[in-house]
């Protein structure tokens, strides 16, 4: 050193150490992997949700459906699902209403339409900062109630088919 604290032996200014490129690559890969796992987890969870909604809908005769079971799977498309959730929440219960109206069963009321709309509202709210703290738990609870209601109606359709009580297309 030449006595000046900011220089090296050769008189050139001292530079701060640069981060190691391999460390940077590792950190980038680590956070990329975490992000990928979160996205994959979200996709798997919503694929299960789509199955749990589409499966009961498939029991409704095609002529009485307002939405095909395949269209439920459009909920997997990010951003588009924010609008599509409202259509699923309205059309799936209406399909069940059509079926039960044709067979003369009234005990299912709105077939989960109100719960479905509130689920869709909370689903959208779960993406809004600050609101999401309340909307995410409500979204989960309402989604579970909606799916349980759909599976209950599916069970009724299964029971009616197994007992041969009626054919929904010739009941009225």
Instruction: Give the separation between CA 88 and CA 53, rounded to whole angstroms.
Output: 9
Helix-then-strand count for the chain, H and E: 5, 0
pLDDT given for residue 8 in this prediction: 61
Q: How many domains does the chain fold into?
A: 1
Domain membership of residue 11 (yes or no) is no
- Which segments in the chain show pLDDT lower than 50? 1
Domain membership of residue 15 (yes or no) is no
Domain membership of residue 168 (yes or no) is no
pLDDT given for residue 167 in this prediction: 64
Domain membership of residue 38 (yes or no) is yes
Asked if 45 and 83 touch (Cβ cutoff 8 Å), the reply is: no
Domain membership of residue 128 (yes or no) is yes
Domain membership of residue 4 (yes or no) is no
Domain membership of residue 10 (yes or no) is no
Domain membership of residue 172 (yes or no) is no
Q: What is the domain range of residue 155?
A: 21-163
pTM for the whole structure? 0.79
pLDDT given for residue 1 in this prediction: 47
């Amino acid at each position: 050193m030449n006595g000046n604290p900011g220089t090296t032996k050769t008189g050139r200014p001292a530079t701060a150490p640069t981060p190691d490129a391999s460390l940077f690559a590792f950190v980038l890969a680590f956070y990329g992997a975490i992000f990928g796992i979160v996205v994959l987890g979200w996709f798997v969870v919503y694929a299960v949700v789509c199955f749990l909604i589409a499966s009961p809908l498939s029991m409704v005769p095609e002529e009485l459906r307002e939405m095909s079971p395949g269209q439920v799977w459009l909920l997997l498309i990010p951003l588009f699902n924010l609008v599509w959730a409202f259509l699923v929440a309205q059309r799936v219960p209406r399909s069940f209403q059509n079926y039960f109206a044709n067979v003369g069963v009234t005990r299912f009321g709105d077939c989960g339409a109100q719960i479905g709309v509130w689920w869709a509202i909370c689903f959208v709210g779960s993406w809004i900062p600050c609101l999401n703290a309340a909307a995410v738990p409500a979204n989960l609870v309402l989604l579970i109630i909606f799916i349980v209601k759909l599976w209950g109606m599916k069970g009724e359709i299964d029971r009616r088919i197994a007992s041969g009580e009626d054919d929904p297309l010739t009941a009225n």
